[in-house]
Structure 1
Amino acid sequence: MQFSQALVRRPAPSCAAGLTSATLGAPDYPRTLLQFQAYCDALRSLGVELTELPALDAFPDAHYVEDVAVLTPEFALITRPGAPARRGETVHIEAPLAKHRELLPMQIGRLDGGDVLLLGRRFFIGLTARTDAQGIAEFERLVKPFGYSVQAVPVSDGLHLKSVVNALNEDTLLVAQALVERPEFEGLRCIPVAPADEYAGNTLHVNGTLITPAGFERVHELLAPLGLPLLVLDTSEFRKMDGGLTCLSLRF
């Protein structure tokens, strides 16, 4: 989980027109930009060099760059987003990523990067409304030659797997309570998050620090025994659009 670089995309003025299942109202654009800048500053403070891509007003969700690609040391897999309205975003991420990695484009199925969690050489992929079995099979076909395994994880609640499950270190997951007993996570330490605090399950480990959403003190207390610094950020405007900390950057 040591990162030196990341790609981010500036939110567009149209960001309130994006896809969401939340009922928290529309995001305030100036506040969205302030929170985006704080996020970028946080990554830079942890030693990550950022490349900021321009806003795409025609694609109001395009600043959630993690959904359109999955990065490993060997390749950048270009996904096939589950929402048809987002598929046009992929062409805009290919050129920036091609400077750093071989591109592996998906051809069939549906898969969002927000459903993909990498732990060592294992990919856990959420089977969700945005990612289907055909997409997972296509993903596995592309990554298997590089020595990666793939495990599908059914997710009934939450937009993406990483909305509710994230890695805190090599053998510890922060997991929504409903998924703690999933057999796919056998052998891993799972720290359960109560339903009321599930949004904070989207906590991001960057270079020895945990970046976590503000307003979830109970989760902050769960994280404290790990002995890692906590960097707490306000993500209220992204939450209104089903967005979180992991999906705002492509880290490598």
Structure 2
Amino acid sequence: MADLAFRYNYAIVCRIPNSFRTGSSRAKGQVDLQRCREEHRNLIETLKVCGVSIIELEAAEAYPDCHSVEDTAVVIGGTALIANPGCHARRGEVAEIRTVLKRDLNFTVTDIKDPLATVDGGDVFFTGKEIVVGVSERTNRAGACAVAMAFQDYNVFTVNVPGPKPLKAYIQMAGKDIMAVGNSPEAKKIYQQIISSMMYQYKKMELDDEAVGNLIYVNGHLIHRTRNEIKDSYVDFDMKIGYTRHDLEWSAMAAANNHMSSSVLFVCKDKHQKDIISNIEEYDLCPFAYLKPTSQQDHHAGTL
């Protein structure tokens, strides 16, 4: 049975606009638009097999990166926090996501009140039990505080993320209590920060960064790149993962610096969701975002 923390019934996706070819803030150089769209479409079809209903948004040509819907909101359980992307050119993308969550899915959503707070969803990592916020080029400490205020039922703590990549480029969940960690120096430093603050114990699975940044665990299924793309890490999946797996080619999207998980915003719409805390005005009195837990279990995760 799938871990309930990663049980979803909807996946919000967005078609790739023509403007992605030359206007992306992430891609370096020319983008193979046709191949990117094929890979993106294959991901959508695979998500259907994993048991989620697809809400597909039309491409917005004014926003070349609009298909990276994960950055526009943080949705955990019955709580939906509208993000404030660190890239100013992307901030207009959140309006459509807010409408979908509020009108179509009937969520009570909240916005970040602090105009100086920035949050990209790709920097918010949910383990199923606690939340890690990466302070990065796109997410600042005020934004991390906004996440902590919205999700007060969870232990929320921050880590520093170097360079232009989001937190989820270095660490993802590969299963219930299985934390996949990249093998780069940057990923290892981030992981050391995480285990110094986490309250729960997880198994560690070390993989190549390119494999970690392109993992999706949903409804008891693991989606990852193909054997030809991640040879060594694929062997680890063969040896250590016993639940249903799906491999997808993601070479064109990876060449455009787009991670697989960034293309999906997962939602669990439950009849008995609790409402989130709304209309938060003061973020300078945040006691949650940077505090390490006062009582901790063993901080040393086991190795899978």
The normalised TM-score by structure 2 is 0.76
Residue of 195, 215, 235 corresponding to 1:221: 235
Counterpart in the other structure of 1:42:
46
Q: CA shift at 1:121, angstroms?
A: 3.6
Query: Are 2:194 and 1:184 aligned?
Result: yes
In the alignment, structure 1 residue 231 sits paired with structure 2 residue 234:
no
Q: CA deviation at 1:79?
A: 0.4
2:161 is matched with which residue? 155
Offset of residue 226 of structure 1: 2.2
User: Cα deviation per residue 1:108-144 (whole Å; 9 max; x = unaligned)?
Assistant: 3111000111123411111111111111012212221
Contact 1:123 1:150 in 2 (8 A): yes
The structure-2 alpha-carbon separation of the partners of 1:189 and 1:121, relative to structure 1 and needing over 3 Å to count, comes to closer
Match of 1:212?
224
CA contact (8 A) 2:137 2:164 kept: no
- The aligned runs of 1:33-72 (5 Å cut-off) are 33-72=37-76
CA distance in 1, matches of 2:128, 2:212: 20
Partner of 1:240: 255
Q: Is residue 2:181 matched to residue 1:175?
A: yes
Q: Partners of 2:236 and 2:135 in 1: how far apart?
A: 27
The residue type paired with residue 139 of structure 1 is V
Cα offset for 1:165? 0.4
Gaps of 5+ in 2: 1-5, 268-304
- What does residue 135 of structure 1 align with? 143
Partner residue in 1 for 2:283: none
| Partner residue of 1:118 out of 126, 129, 132 | 126
After superposition, give the CA deviation of every residue in 1:28-56 in whole Å (9 maximum; x if it has no partner). Answer: 22222211110110001111110111000
SS at match of 1:58: coil
SS at match of 1:228: coil
SS in 1 for 2:80: strand
More displaced 10-residue stretch of structure 1: 235-244 or 53-62: 235-244
Q: Which amino acid aligns with 2:179?
A: L
Deviation at 1:173, TM superposition (A): 0.7
Q: In 1, Cα distance between the equivalents of 2:36 and 2:174?
A: 26
Q: Which amino acid aligns with 2:133?
A: I
What are the ranges of 5 or more consecutive residues in structure 1 without an aligned counterpart?
none
2:83–2:111 contact (8 Å) kept in structure 1: yes
Please report the TM-score for the alignment, with normalisation by the length of structure 1.
0.91
Check whether the contact 1:7–1:250 (CA below 8 A) recurs between aligned residues.
yes
Q: Which amino acid aligns with 1:198?
A: D
Corresponding position: 1:11 with 2:34:
no
Distance 2:144 2:51 in 1: 33
Give the Cα separation in 1 of the matches to 2:124 and 2:257.
16
Matched residue type, 1:182: Q
Shift of 1:157: 4.6
Tell me which moved more, 120-129 or 174-183. 174-183
